[in-house]
Amino acid sequence: MDQTKIIAEIGINHNGSVDTCKKLINVASVAGCDYVKIQKRTPDLCVPENQKNKIRSTPWGDMTYLEYKKRIEFNEEQIQELLSYSNEQNINFFASVWDIPSSELMAKYTKITKIPSALITDLDLCKHARENFETLIISTGMSTEKEIEECIKSCDPDVVMHTNSTYPAPVKELNLNYIKWLQCKYLDRKIGYSGHEYGLVSTFASVALGVEWVERHITLNHSMWGSDHLSSLEPAGLLKLVKGIRDIEDSFSIPTGPRVLTEGEKPKRESLRK
């Protein structure tokens, strides 16, 4: 079994704080993740018109939803700072892009991106990302099979991630069998799993099923303000996730074939068998 690529998804759990984002980058690096990821949006383009002026209570006071989205968005200078910091921590930094200007910005600094589940029907964005990044990941949550097929046809992604876009996702609705469907249907692509469920067991099961990429949201503390923290892993959970995935890989390290008598078994064989 090849080593699974592990993405620690910060998303918007930094709440617009560079310092909080750096702490989460540290957590991902110490845990042994391969990548750390945020979300990049242009709020004026991404926030629906009927939501822009709705008032939202936030830790920074009451403000419109558009103002809130702008408040938590990193600008280009901050992204450069986070990229540099991630390099110092020996972890790859990238972003899910939610619109073409965000795609253009991130393409200046990274060779990998992801189209989130909510945007795989935006084929213009998907095509733009394919043209500007070496590695393109898509996520299949909240999508029909036809929508997924159209996205893949339009942008030829390198990685297709199965996900359930409920936050948190009920275990009975995870449909891990869909991983096997994707593996059989798209033999020329890498298949991944982006988990939003509580706990680690289902993510471990996805690795045993043969996914090559895994993504989980991370947070410093479940009690932090924001919509994604409850379905995210705290630092201890992320450490357990990475350790468990690497243990699963080791447990599959002996090639398929006739049973091999291991060195550890030989003393027991001598002492217990007549």
Predicted TM-score (pTM) of this structure = 0.95
- pLDDT, one tens digit per residue, over 127-172 is 999 999 999 999 999 999 999 999 999 999 999 999 999 989 999 9
Q: Residue 227 has what pLDDT?
A: 82
Q: Residue 230 has what pLDDT?
A: 85
Burial class for 272, CB neighbours closer than 10 Å (0-12, 13-18, 19+):
exposed
Nearest-CA neighbor of 204 among 176, 185, 165?
176
Nearest-CA neighbor of 205 among 189, 218, 187, 193?
193
Q: Residue 274 has what pLDDT?
A: 73
Mean pLDDT, to the nearest integer, of 7-31?
97
- pLDDT, one tens digit per residue, over 206-264 is 999 999 999 999 999 998 988 888 889 999 999 999 999 999 999 999 999 999 899 99
pLDDT over 80 at 37, yes or no: yes
pLDDT over 90 at 1, yes or no: no
Q: Residue 269 has what pLDDT?
A: 92
CA–CA separation, 51 and 228 (whole Å):
19
Domain 5-272 has CATH 3.40.50.1360: no
**124 band by pLDDT with thresholds 50, 70 and 90:** very high
Q: For residue 176, how far is the Cα from the chain centroid?
A: 16
CB of 91 within 8 A of CB of 29? Answer: yes
Rounded-to-5 percentages of helix, strand, coil across the chain: 45, 20, 35
Other CB atoms within a 10 A radius of the CB of residue 3 amount to 10
CB of 53 within 8 A of CB of 69? Answer: no
CB of 66 within 8 A of CB of 53? Answer: yes
How many degrees, rounded to 5, is the angle at CA 212 between CA 239 and CA 129? 105
Nearest-CA neighbor of 162 among 198, 199, 211, 100?
211
Q: Residue 206 has what pLDDT?
A: 98
- pLDDT, one tens digit per residue, over 66-121 is 999 999 999 999 999 999 999 999 999 999 999 999 999 999 999 999 999 999 99
Percent of the chain with pLDDT over 90: 95
Torsional sign, CA 37, 165, 216, 122? negative
Q: Residue 127 has what pLDDT?
A: 98
Q: Where are the domains of the chain?
A: 5-272
Nearest-CA neighbor of 71 among 82, 79, 63?
63
The per-residue DSSP string of 31-57 comes to HT-SEEEEEE--HHHHS-HHHHT-EEE
